[in-house]
Chains A and B, each alone.
Chain A
């Protein structure tokens, strides 16, 4: 259970931050809904990156 919670929290955090950033971007520049769409997808990518790093599949940045 601990491992599952750890990995899922990584993914959800990435998506959440992407969504919030996109929403704020739209609010500031009134580009709704494109900012949200783009940042949501980027957030998903960041979440997967977090997930893969935390699972230890990909090397954690280069040289470590």
Chain B
């Protein structure tokens, strides 16, 4: 049986240095992060600024419009302050997910620590900007209007817990989807080789998982985009709370 978890293993490429006794290592994950950034950078640099856009320029303009529209619809026009953050998040997750679908590559968003750091970045941005912009009025986020005073403390406590659970559900959603998708893909693909080893009948039977693997790859392509989009839209919704609390 081919190990479906093996693809998520981190391999050491070289050591950067030490902090205390902890070794700081440049891993495959870091390499693929750099690759994603490099792909985005090349795409943006090669775009050009013609009036009639070329291929690269169309892609770049399309992604700009897409993210800008997402921010405007879910966080209002004031949310465009955060365009650089949201655009970087979307492009980084999207490109790294697409790279991860290519066989033999590594998917960085299949490690929860990566997605959790990204979610924590958004969470801290919301808290810091919320207090910076609204002062103590930001706390109105936890006090829904039109609640009887008797049960208000309970509701506020529940709202606070609900607020703190955001980075967890935000990160787990992306991580779990990528992990589950890649494991499923690997398991079905390993059925092909296992059945193929069983002679003629096995080879005919292997056609079924082969077809499923092709279909799943298409599905994964959609999930890669969809999860990047979901992460972006949730980021916008959370930023909206920082911009207009107590709605």
Contact = CB atoms under 8 A, between A and B. Distances in A.
Interface of A: 1-2, 5-6, 9-10, 12-14, 16-18, 21, 39, 42-43, 45-47, 49-50, 61-64
Given A5-B180, A50-B169, A61-B144, A14 B226 contact: no
Contacts of B169: 9-10, 12-14, 50
B168 interface: yes
A17 B161 contact: yes
A1 B173 CA distance: 11
Secondary structure dominating the interface of A: helix
A50 B226 CA distance: 21
Contacts of A14: 161-162, 165, 169
Contacts of B247: 61-64
25 contacts: A1-B180, A2-B226, A9-B168, A9-B176, A10-B165, A10-B169, A12-B168, A13-B166, A13-B172, A14-B161, A14-B169, A16-B168, A17-B165, A21-B164, A42-B154, A42-B157, A43-B165, A45-B158, A46-B158, A46-B159, A46-B165, A49-B159, A49-B162, A50-B169, A63-B247
B177 interface: yes
A58 to B, nearest CB: 11
Interface of B: 144-146, 154, 157-159, 161-162, 164-166, 168-169, 172-173, 176-177, 180, 223, 226-227, 230, 247
Given A5-B180, A9-B173, A13-B168, A62 B146 contact: yes
For the complex of A and B, list the 9 residue pairs with the smallest distance between their C-beta atoms, beginning with the closest.
A13-B168, A46-B161, A13-B169, A13-B165, A46-B162, A17-B165, A9-B172, A14-B165, A9-B169
Given A9-B176, A18-B161, A46-B165, 16 more contacts: A2-B223, A2-B227, A9-B168, A9-B169, A10-B169, A13-B166, A14-B165, A17-B165, A18-B165, A45-B158, A45-B161, A46-B158, A47-B165, A62-B146, A63-B247, A64-B247
